[in-house]
Amino acid sequence: MRRSLVFLVLLLCASGCALIPPTHPEHSYYPEPRDSRSLTISYTLYRAAQASGDDPTRYSFAFIQTAAVTAFAADDATFYFSEGLARQSQRCIDAIVAQKVAHEILGHAGQRRTLTLGLTAGFAVLGLIAPGLGLADLVVNPLIVRAFSRDQEMEADQRAIEILRDMGHAAPRRSLAEALRTVAATKPAVGRPMWERGPLSPEPALDDRLAALEPLETVLVGGLEGAPKPPSRASTSRRARGASTQ
């Protein structure tokens, strides 16, 4: 019986590595630079980088082949944006791109990497003192890192408000809130990976994120002022060259 319990514990610990999401999304690819969707994302990324005070020329991005509205900020100012996002309104695209740029500005990817390495090193030392404790890293590390990631999302939301305001949004809080609802609406209710559910979710609950954005700006008569419209394709190609996919 004891051997069976030990085997079960080891199996759970070994499966802990499956709780760690991949470093880049599946079905990602580099779009054609002249594609209209690529130009829209490129121009938006350029504007968001400028609004944040960063250098747009160091930014690059790829697409994710999915209808879901999603985005991912990787290392070294590299971003992944879904095809579904590229089909949304400019206001929604601005909000999601600004939120991901906020992650880059705040150095969140590097902070998570440092935390992960620190936890692994700590459990390795514990494993030398008490053999077997090192295996706990496979379970505890993802739990701590994902809790840390949820805090980072809330921080990035607040920084994104400032970026959106500098991008010309008259109601940045409302723009971000509407975009977050759009993202949530396209996520499948079932079939999500284990690392995206419950305490292992890298994102806080939608209600918590929306509550942190309150109070939203008052709706103006005649509707909210929209995001700045993208210029012509030729103009976009010139101005967004620094944020191209090449």
pLDDT tens sequence across 19-53? 444 456 788 998 888 889 999 999 999 999 999 99
Domain assignment present for residue 233? The answer is no
Dihedral of the alpha carbons of 48, 49, 54, 60, in degrees to the nearest 10: 160
Domain assignment present for residue 214? The answer is no
With bands split at pLDDT 50, 70 and 90, how would you rate the model's confidence at 198? Answer: low
Asked if residue 187 has pLDDT above 70, the reply is: yes
Looking at 130-186, list the stretches that DSSP marks H as alpha helix, in order from N- to C-terminal side: 137-166, 172-186
Q: Which residue has the higher pLDDT, 84 or 231?
A: 84
Share of the chain above pLDDT 70, in %: 71
Domain that holds residue 70: 2-208
Q: Which residue has the higher pLDDT, 222 or 118?
A: 118
Domain assignment present for residue 106? The answer is yes
Dihedral of the alpha carbons of 129, 132, 138, 141, in degrees to the nearest 10: -30
- C-alpha dihedral sign at 206, 150, 49, 236: negative
Dihedral of the alpha carbons of 182, 185, 188, 194, in degrees to the nearest 10: 70
Domain assignment present for residue 95? The answer is yes
Residue 77, classified by CB atoms within 10 Å of its CB into exposed (0-12), middle (13-18) or buried (19+), is buried
Domain assignment present for residue 193? The answer is yes
Domain assignment present for residue 228? The answer is no
Domain assignment present for residue 216? The answer is no
- Looking at the 3D structure of the chain, how many domains does it have? 1
Domain assignment present for residue 131? The answer is yes
